[in-house]
Copies of this chain bind each other. A is one copy, B any other.
Amino acid sequence: MKTSVGEIAALVEGELVRGDAATILTNFAALDHADESCVSFYGNPKYREQLRSTRAGLVLVPEVAVSAPESAALVVVENPVLAFDSIVRLYGVTSPPFEAGVHQTAFVHPDARLDPTAVSIAAKATVAEGAVIGKGTRIGAGAAIGGDVVIGEDCVIAANVTICQGCLVGNRVILHPGVVVGADGFGFEFVEGRHRKIEQLGIVRIGDDVEIGASSTIDRARFGETVIGEGTKIDNQVQIGHNCIIGKHCIVVAQTGISGSTRIGDYVTLAAQCGIAGHLVIADRVTCGGRTGVIASIREPGGTYFGYPARPFKEGRREAMRIKQLGSLFRRVKALESGKAAPGDEATSGGEAE
């Protein structure tokens, strides 16, 4: 983008109350990330400190009486959040508009089913025999759509995604680059000193409105289906094992792994770097904090868990506090052993942990 303080003020129908309308602006950023080339915004009093120290060239503010550096031009608007959003939408980077057609360098098997006037297949993408692509769906450059895969309508399958043989994808699904859907589950029998492969003959079924982040991997079922429920959002580098059933409207944050045959309820949140063991059940609306390791089923809905092994959040926090106080506990025991009490320790830190 290349615009000016005056143009931004006009665009958001705001009033320039301080600063030079001719100042050039080329970017936008949050208050703490902005420099003098940036438009920023102040919409929430909890960012008052950030406003005070921002290096932004222009800040959209809800009233003139705010405390911001002299270097920042100020434009008063009714709702700075919405105003900023409109600027971002105007100048932000968006994918090019949907353009129907099969690129001349893509390969679509003659026995694939798709309407070339209603789908968009990019350069070097491949669509194998028997695959079905719904209308309004985009397939990115180099993506490989396996045989008999069925993809619904209005999906975005990004560049270099792989969807393996027979897997099913709903409508309005977004798969980011490098996602692998339907690689074999990890299953072996140990026979005469060697690991013999257990054939993985099921599929992956992805519900409507699912989004899966870059380089995440969802394994096909040993038999039957690995399921990602409608509306569930999965971040980058997440691993989901064979035969998992992930419920609807879950959030699974980056680098989390879920082992095979685990069943996750609806509205579950797994923060980053969690690990869930196999063959477990996690109830609806459970939340696991970052890096939680779950090794036993959680059957009660709605709780918040933390730690490895996972325990209820409060308990985990109490335990962490006790560990922090271990130094004092060692001192107290030493004092007892030497016949001297250590009342200070006992009265202060000791009390909290118990």
In the complex, the answer to whether B178 meets A96 with C-beta atoms within 8 Å is: no
The interface-forming segment of A6-14, A70-78, A157-165 is A157-165
Chain B residues, Cβ within 8 Å of A42? none
Stoichiometry, as copies per complex, reads 3
A125 and B332 CA atoms in complex are apart in Å by 68
Q: Are B322 and A180 in contact (CB under 8 A)?
A: no
A288 on the interface (CB 8 Å rule)? no
What residues of B have a CB within 8 angstroms of the CB of A30 in the complex?
Answer: 224, 243, 261
Assembled-state Cα–Cα distance A312/B180 (Å): 36
Complex Cα distance A237/B320, Å?
30
**Are A257 and B273 closer than 8 Å at their CB atoms?**
yes
A272 touches B254 (CB 8 A): no
Give A209's nearest chain B residue, CB to CB. Answer: B194
Q: Are A272 and B253 in contact (CB under 8 A)?
A: no
Whether A186 pairs with B308 at a CB distance below 8 angstroms is: no
Q: Is the CB of B224 within 8 A of A217?
A: no
Enumerate chain B residues within 8 angstroms of A199, measured Cβ to Cβ: 88-89, 92, 94
Does A171 sit within 8 A of B, measured CB to CB?
no
Contacts of A257 in B (CB 8 A): 237, 254-255, 272-273
Complex Cα distance A183/B30, Å? 20
A178 surroundings in chain B (CB, below 8 A): 160, 162, 178, 180, 215, 217
Known: A88-B199, A177-B183; 19 extra A-B contacts, CB below 8 A, are: A28-B224, A93-B202, A93-B203, A123-B126, A142-B142, A162-B214, A176-B184, A186-B213, A194-B209, A215-B215, A219-B236, A237-B237, A273-B293, A290-B295, A323-B326, A326-B326, A330-B350, A333-B346, A336-B337
Interface residues of A (CB under 8 A from B): 27-30, 32-34, 38, 88-89, 92-96, 103, 105, 107, 122-126, 128-129, 140-144, 146-148, 158-160, 162, 164-166, 174, 176-178, 180, 183-184, 186, 188, 193-195, 197, 199, 201-203, 209, 211, 213-215, 217, 219-220, 223-225, 231, 233, 235-237, 239, 241, 243, 245, 249, 251, 253-255, 257, 259, 261, 263, 272-273, 275, 277, 290-291, 293, 295, 308-309, 318-320, 322-327, 329-334, 336-337, 341-343, 346, 350, 353-354
